[in-house]
Amino acid sequence: MTDFTHDESILARAGVDDDAAHGAVMPPIHLSSNYSFEGFGKKRAFDYTRSGNPTRTQLADALAALERGAGAVVTSSGMAAVDLVFNLLAPGALVVAPHDAYGGTWRLLMALEGKGAIKLALVDQGDAVALDAALRREPALVWIETPSNPLMRVVDIADIAARARNAGARVAVDNTFLSPVLQKPLTLGADFVVHSTTKYLNGHSDVVGGAVIAASQADADELAWWANCRGTTGSPFDSWLTLRGMRTLVVRIERQQQSARAVAAFLAAHDRVAAIHYPGLETHPGNAIAKRQQNGFGAMLSFDLVESVDVALFLDRLRHFTLAESLGGVESLIAHPATMTHAAMTPEARAAAGIGERLMRVSIGLDHQDDLIAALGAALKASDLKCDPEVGSGLVSHLRAKDALDSKLASAASDLKFAPRPPSK
Ligand SMILES: Cc1ncc(COP(=O)(O)O)c(C=O)c1O
């Protein structure tokens, strides 16, 4: 474990100058799947990489230090980290989770409930009455995601953690959207923090990984036991890449959120934007809580297009933002949650969570903010059918014809024996 208290120093020094064999300044990567015994009955610190690996431990130690936890377990994906926490639950335990949780978390919770492994109460955690009603049912775990994906709703971690504790529940916070640099849920009373390290922590969109950080050593040990037992620990190579990516986390996120603020202000004032969801704006309902519990507002935001803007045309015209899942990388991304990140939710669940067909979610990367704003402005103009209905409808019918052709090709391909399956996300 590192001795530093500032995130920048933790990140700059993690595993540095730690190599007793050769004095390598930057940590070497230990890909070996197994480690020799010193002799009969004399195990070293590591024996088999599923249960423990030096490279993975360096990443886990850095994550635990960043989140001010007692220990961390590095997993093969963010979903493996989410699932790892649920391994601590007794059969039939009640989980209280947000009604607008990340689609993959929602799908896992629904599937676990569907087969009777847990009981589930999905609530709007910003609604104190609804939350109290759920807490009276004596949950074992309260799951928090703040800011939420994709609507950027903010809830008060310290308040919910205190109320959950009174109700006898443990608290886990998915901190993926902000990273430990901008929010430290364990210092606000949570028991567990979960990350998709795929996002800001790695930051370069070239690793899928996850982690759970526990406030207590006993919980960290139990999580490590389950991760080894289930075989969901992260690979050494991914761990090495993630630690390498994390070294620049503070400077990346500072620049990214600076651009996000500028983009949010631009969109908030734009007449083709019906609503903007960014906690950094004074008008955002979670602004006061975010100021209190966050160390910055982050670089994720979402917005609803006005009726006259054609969604398909907007996405087709938009430059600089890649239409793709995921977030937190150096590249700016745009996603259409209803058909992408949150497609796993039923339309009813999406409607209840407020995730509409006109909602766009963006992850602001390291591109220059002026380029991003210019790109958004140009696409909003080029996709507003009220501006030039003739041009607009011409383009829309072109896109619709292209879509129809694509879906015909897809259905023809699905008749073939070895046709690629559509993504299941
Ligand atoms: C908030 C949040 N939690 C968890 C996950 C799951 O992470 P992964 O895709 O690394 O499994 C995601 C993925 O987008 C996410 O956005």
pLDDT digits (tens, 9 = 90+) for 191-237: 999 999 999 999 999 999 999 999 999 999 999 999 999 999 999 99
- What is the predicted pLDDT for the residue at 169? 98
CATH code matching the domain that covers 7-246, chosen among 3.20.20.140, 2.40.50.140, 3.20.20.70, 3.40.640.10: 3.40.640.10
CB-ligand 1 contact for 212 (6 Å cutoff): no
Residue 156 has pLDDT above 60, yes or no: yes
- What is the predicted pLDDT for the residue at 100? 85
Mean pLDDT over the full length of the chain: 92
- What is the predicted pLDDT for the residue at 392? 52
In this chain, the answer to whether the domains covering 7-246 and 249-415 adopt an identical fold is no
Cα dihedral 148/188/241/26 (nearest 10): 160
Rounded Cα distance, 176 and 198, in Å: 9
CB-ligand 1 contact for 198 (6 Å cutoff): yes
Q: Active-site residue 174, yes or no?
A: yes
Helix 157-166 / helix 128-135 crossing angle, nearest 10 deg: 30
* Closest protein CA for atom 7 of ligand 1: 78
Residue 301 has pLDDT above 60, yes or no: yes
Q: How far is the CA of 210 from the centre of ligand 1 (A)?
A: 8
Per-residue pLDDT tens digits for 145-154: 999 989 999 9
- What is the predicted pLDDT for the residue at 386? 84
Residue 307 identity: E
* Closest protein CA for atom 9 of ligand 1: 78
Q: Are 82 and 174 in contact (CB under 8 A)?
A: yes
Q: How far is the CA of 148 from the centre of ligand 1 (A)?
A: 12
Q: Active-site residue 13, yes or no?
A: no
Rounded Cα distance, 198 and 221, in Å: 23
Per-residue pLDDT tens digits for 251-289: 999 999 999 999 999 999 999 999 999 999 999 999 999
What's the DSSP call for residue 23? -
Q: Could you give phi then psi for residue 197, rounded to 5 degrees? A: -70, -10
Q: Active-site residue 388, yes or no?
A: no
- Report which ligand 1 atom has the smallest distance to the Cα of 209: 10
CB-ligand 1 contact for 296 (6 Å cutoff): no
Tracing tokens 């390290």 back to the chain, one arrives at 197
- What is the predicted pLDDT for the residue at 387? 76
* Closest protein CA for atom 15 of ligand 1: 102
Q: How far is the CA of 196 from the centre of ligand 1 (A)?
A: 5
Q: Which CATH superfamily is domain 249-415 in?
A: Aspartate Aminotransferase, domain 1 (3.90.1150.10)
Q: Are 66 and 10 in contact (CB under 8 A)?
A: yes
Q: List the chain domain ranges.
A: 7-246, 249-415
Catalytic residue among 61, 100, 124, 174: 174
Q: Could you tell me the pTM of the whole model?
A: 0.91
Q: How far is the CA of 104 from the centre of ligand 1 (A)?
A: 7
For the chain, the residue count is 425
Residue 10 identity: I
The secondary structure element, H or E, covering residue 72 is strand 71-75
Rounded Cα distance, 10 and 161, in Å: 27
Confidence of residue 44 (pLDDT cuts 50, 70, 90): very high
The mean per-residue pLDDT over the stretch 75-103 comes to: 96
Q: Active-site residue 402, yes or no?
A: no
CB-ligand 1 contact for 58 (6 Å cutoff): no
- What is the predicted pLDDT for the residue at 423? 38
Q: How far is the CA of 128 from the centre of ligand 1 (A)?
A: 26
CB-ligand 1 contact for 75 (6 Å cutoff): no
